[in-house]
Structure 1
């Protein structure tokens, strides 16, 4: 089926159906209508998959998805226009431009933690760029996957936009096909599999991965504000099941106790004395992930470092917000991406040491700093390499459509959001147009010493050499 599907979509694309601005606009407007009309259905699916609070579903998925559509609709005609660029002296007289054209038939493989937003956001950009698209939602979020399979054919052009449900088998079959681009969101291990499969057909990829996103917390801050922002960015984002959620904090030994006390107060305020019963805290997505997470803190050396939380309820698939201080650096908790509700605190003697600590590991998808110290801020921005940086907050940088969102190194390849998604699914085609005038005999053999002088002058940008070339010097018989 997947092979036939890819061929059918390629046939539709070759008709030129997806290229006009009218088609793209119609599809984007249909997606906006779908989001507006089916908001309750989307929220219900997200709650079924993750017990996600309705407000969190709206803020983090529904509103951002609609915003991405609206932003694309406003910018589309400008994005589609050719970019005129200067022509070189060597091609005078001529005009030069860069034309954005659709890549063709693209595959979007989505993730389960934000199953609506992370599916529809790249699809929006692929449609805006004029491509035919196959969306493969995550089988780990079955309610949202099923909703896409039901809704998209009702709203968009089913001859050019398709949904394929299923698990590993279906994804493997899809990866065996020839695509013009593959966009994958998920973990690095599967990202390597996607990249290897794409290499067989020389298919370009965009990989939105994760990593251990650090938070440097200086003592020179508004502590209460900082802790609220860290807490909502960690536990208010799927209970830590987010690629840009804080993975660990770095602070000084002298400040750690005060930071922990503030975290305790804020977490009680957010989720009550018994967070496992809070309706504002998402559950762990499934039993397998629940067991993976509980294994991280079962080791006694790790468990002894818990200073807050640690309660679990396997029946509810819930784990309370949990803070640890100076967990063993060689433990699984500290060496791999947590993707859950545990927040380790690493202590250092001086806060400046935190930058070296971050740089000793793989490049994260996001890195955060809380400080009023301008020198520390400058050092952080200059010396920390990450997909994105944010000072004095967490996660909010992804809400700005004028900023690219993506990783670097182990945290990903390529970026998207706003026009960057359009660019991700476009080829920037170089076009140079000349007439038959301006013939320069010096470019043709035989290469006499005089011709060589003129050609060297042209390469160096000599206006005098250009005039000689256009006048036909040295003279040649026609």
Structure 2
């Protein structure tokens, strides 16, 4: 396979605004006309509820398409800049040029969103694109491979299917830009491959996102948001709250509120709920189930290997050294670690790898300001 360079710019076709607009509009038609096959594919892959598919996979991508179409003309204009001593006699401006051929490697947890949102940006910028959907979501991969090319310019878009071997072979080629979403472990492999060709890239990786709950919080409101964020897509979301930090007293008050929220959202038997997805694979199921031995199971804990079902679960009194705190959970399991105060919570977070997001619940604005004034390395969400 030979890729890369301006020879893939389809006779400069992709540079034209008309071509970019036509491709974005075609992508929007794909989402409209293939909505039901997309819903069916994701139900097959991970029993993802239709509402979750529409919200997180279809609507978000359509919003990106609409945003790009509304702003494309201004994005493509030259940006004039202030002159300095060297450029006083010149006309100085910035012109946005396409990179060339972009490789987009998607992830299985949002198999449509994490391919098509980067694709929108790549098309809007005038690039040719090769997309590599996740083979783990085989039904969604099939939709992208067999249907999407019929909507887009096949001289400027290609879909590559397969597993790690095919991805490894793909990465041996020189691309002009790479966009990867996935785990840090695979991200290192992608970055090493890009470095061989000095290819610029974007890595969107995971992390353990902390949540601090202050003593004076509205705990039912907190519980509702935690359960929604932790159980959406069965917890298989990179920005989901991964663990809770709070005082021992708040933990005991928060547990019944979490139990009530789970019942309200998914009924007394979440396994029977049409609104609760399943774990993507046997491998991920076994990995998550092994984490349930951390702390004590205060809520949930039921599993069904045949269905790859793990109930919405809360682990109380978890210790930092236990398995649930050694990796991103990526499932409907929420550990609670008790800390005496907000300063200890900040110190706990700063001793660990930087997460993608952080969530703070506090009724007192001074508590929130304490996070703002904390160490510069502390992220916020």
Q: TM-score band, normalised by the shorter chain? A: over 0.9
Deviations 1:51-97 (A, max 9, x none): 00001111111100111100000011111111111101343222211
Structure whose alpha-carbon radius of gyration is higher: 1
Residue 354 (structure 1) aligned with residue 350 (structure 2) = no
Q: Which runs of 5+ in 1 are unaligned?
A: 391-478
- Counterpart of 2:329 in structure 1 is 338
User: Is the CA contact (8 Å cut-off) linking 1:365 and 1:387 kept in structure 2?
Assistant: no
Supply the RMSD in Å over aligned alpha carbons.
1.6
CA distance in 2, matches of 1:160, 1:260: 53
Q: Which runs of 5+ in 2 are unaligned?
A: none
Residue 281 (structure 1) aligned with residue 276 (structure 2) = yes
Residue 306 (structure 1) aligned with residue 297 (structure 2) = yes
- Counterpart of 1:54 in structure 2 is 50
CA distance in 1, matches of 2:371, 2:68: 32
User: Is the CA contact (8 Å cut-off) linking 1:182 and 1:205 kept in structure 2?
Assistant: yes
User: Is the CA contact (8 Å cut-off) linking 1:191 and 1:209 kept in structure 2?
Assistant: yes
Residue 262 (structure 1) aligned with residue 267 (structure 2) = no
Q: How does 1:77-476 map to 2 (within 5 A)?
A: 77-236=73-232, 238-297=233-292, 299=293, 302=294, 305-383=296-374, 389-390=380-381
- Counterpart of 1:21 in structure 2 is 17
User: Is the CA contact (8 Å cut-off) linking 2:46 and 2:278 kept in structure 1?
Assistant: yes
CA distance in 1, matches of 2:379, 2:44: 31
Q: 1:271, CA displacement in angstroms?
A: 1.1
Which secondary structure state, in structure 1, belongs to the residue aligned with residue 174 of structure 2? coil
CA distance in 2, matches of 1:362, 1:54: 34
Q: 1:269, CA displacement in angstroms?
A: 1.2
Q: 1:294, CA displacement in angstroms?
A: 1.1
User: Is the CA contact (8 Å cut-off) linking 2:354 and 2:379 kept in structure 1?
Assistant: no
- Counterpart of 1:30 in structure 2 is 26
Which secondary structure state, in structure 1, belongs to the residue aligned with residue 371 of structure 2? helix
CA distance in 1, matches of 2:14, 2:78: 18
User: Is the CA contact (8 Å cut-off) linking 2:10 and 2:156 kept in structure 1?
Assistant: no
Q: 1:351, CA displacement in angstroms?
A: 2.7
User: Is the CA contact (8 Å cut-off) linking 2:346 and 2:374 kept in structure 1?
Assistant: yes
Which secondary structure state, in structure 1, belongs to the residue aligned with residue 15 of structure 2? coil
CA distance in 2, matches of 1:43, 1:213: 29
Q: Flag the 1:385–1:246 CA change in 2: closer, same or farther, 3 A.
A: farther
Which secondary structure state, in structure 1, belongs to the residue aligned with residue 9 of structure 2? helix
CA distance in 1, matches of 2:374, 2:96: 34
Which secondary structure state, in structure 2, belongs to the residue aligned with residue 215 of structure 1? strand
CA distance in 2, matches of 1:48, 1:349: 45
CA distance in 1, matches of 2:179, 2:370: 33
Q: Which has the higher contact order (CA 8 A, sep 6+)?
A: 1
**Across the two proteins, how many residue pairs are aligned to each other?**
381
TM-score with structure 2 length normalisation? 0.96
Q: 1:295, CA displacement in angstroms?
A: 1.5
User: Is the CA contact (8 Å cut-off) linking 1:186 and 1:209 kept in structure 2?
Assistant: yes
Deviations 1:327-367 (A, max 9, x none): 23212211111111110011111133211111110000111
User: Is the CA contact (8 Å cut-off) linking 1:359 and 1:385 kept in structure 2?
Assistant: no
Which secondary structure state, in structure 2, belongs to the residue aligned with residue 88 of structure 1? coil
